[in-house]
Structure 1
């Protein structure tokens, strides 16, 4: 490849923007430490919090899948096997930072403080996102691919104009990198040097489309250099490495270093959603090979070998996760108390005359329907 002496925007050395050939890893599949000169191992307290998040996240995924089968959720895109990405994304953010998630990032949303029941409202088919984005600093989960990335960079630009030290972490999947919105968001963030961390969970499949049909680049992280921002690759099933790499990117953004693209190499262990049959496009042997890289088992082995996790603590965490699952079951098994006016109440801060007219029309129809039903039972 021909070398050039010119530098990308903001005076960076092009070589500094390239990701590693091998994803960053701090803990291997057996739980053993892999020393990395560039990224230190996170502290024991942070690893302990991460393990709790993995235990709770796995139980939430399992419970949500059960609720789908019971007809209490309309759909659930499971992040089973990707919980390390979910937990790390939440833990690296400060109280005033913002998370922009996708439809598969319920565990990250919950780890950010949203109650599990509220996080499932959208997937239940109810109105709006189910939670107040401003309270938790979590944008609504999005189903359209990559649209939230544009929202994220716009939010980051506004925060920068206000002089805030807010960092925005925008999550997406490998399929999203084929969308025009991905390109626009990356380019805008780099040109305006915005405090955004683009976090791609490369789980190998966009529904049934494999990564090989998404890109011809050496990796998704290599796309970063084309925009003039650094890219990095990380083992997406190693929560320690994720905390280190994402944490560095967040610190860099907060200190004025601009955006970063991070690609986490992970795997979607279950079907795309309950409406998908993944046996039609991938082999069971492939899925089983990734099961041996389970992020929860990996961190459990590491903490246990160092004497930081014992049976008593394991039981305590399991009991806590079961309490969360029980609360989620109770919330979704309860019949909703629906108010039709909510369809109009939360569209704008001040209801427009048109919305008022629509509400009165619907209210009259409901009243007429109620009167007709009552008359039929006389």
Structure 2
């Protein structure tokens, strides 16, 4: 690698997937090349969990703060001068803007568009159209996407016509099991423990999982559901479990620190999300040998290999029908990507009856379940190997610096 300096623009206020991925990307990248990394934090603070994991060799400055004071938004030249000062001091070969469509025009102006790369990780799904977002996309010459779905969302919704390289996300090393698991065998196909791992918000479709659980009980199956995660929908979902008379079979575990133990407790991961730009949780489940049933939407079909590591189900319910199940319509995105039609459309939800039937289909085929478990283990360490993901990204960035192209060309 001949890269010398990389400057990253990234929000570190939270401790979610993008922030965690960034921390481990920088650490792995520093082990693969001599390139020096510097970080511009775009928010108001650095989350304590991220701060303690940041590579100390990657200095951090704040985009909107100087000398402990927040810089005013107007006149624009004040913040622009701050960014030009940062760029002049770090002298980067390339500037990587992480998942930040909004408020990045000044970065293009300060660094010069020719050395800027945008790394799309789901922001193109967010609600809100603005001239600033479109001007940024008109100016940035190259984009790395974490899924083919992200590529098509940028092209179909935002009309992006520049070059795009798809580099699939990968499983962070910190999420890998300490000891490689063996493929799973079902202990009893009609006695199951299902798992949901998600922030408890409407977009994750957890209400659908609760209805499917109720229907499985009506079919005579002894099934429990463990839910790892918390969020604004928790009380609503707990009330729904009571209404469906399944509260004694649902365990709301909240934020789970020991995810290996969680995966050891479940037989199948259910992920009925209405939107999922990539679907990292499906890779994580596969790393523990847990097959996945997921919605056939956005990037999930690129992660869950239908019939091999799990099954994907076409969503058929309208937002109104989803709300009738007890879900909240608020906070849903205006568009999702439909991979079967290669179009963007309004979000749709899974039919609980279809989810129930698909769960029964997987678990009635015990040899097939074991094959899915083994295939998920292989995918996590081969298709979604983190070091290979980092090498591809660094190679694409280096090629861009040298030639202006994100080579080698993606087949996606």
TM-score interval, smaller chain? under 0.3
Higher strand share: 2
Structure with more relative contact order (C-alpha pairs < 8 Å, separation 6 or more): 1
Comparing both structures, which one devotes a greater share of its residues to helix? 1
| TM-score computed with the length of structure 1 as normaliser | 0.25
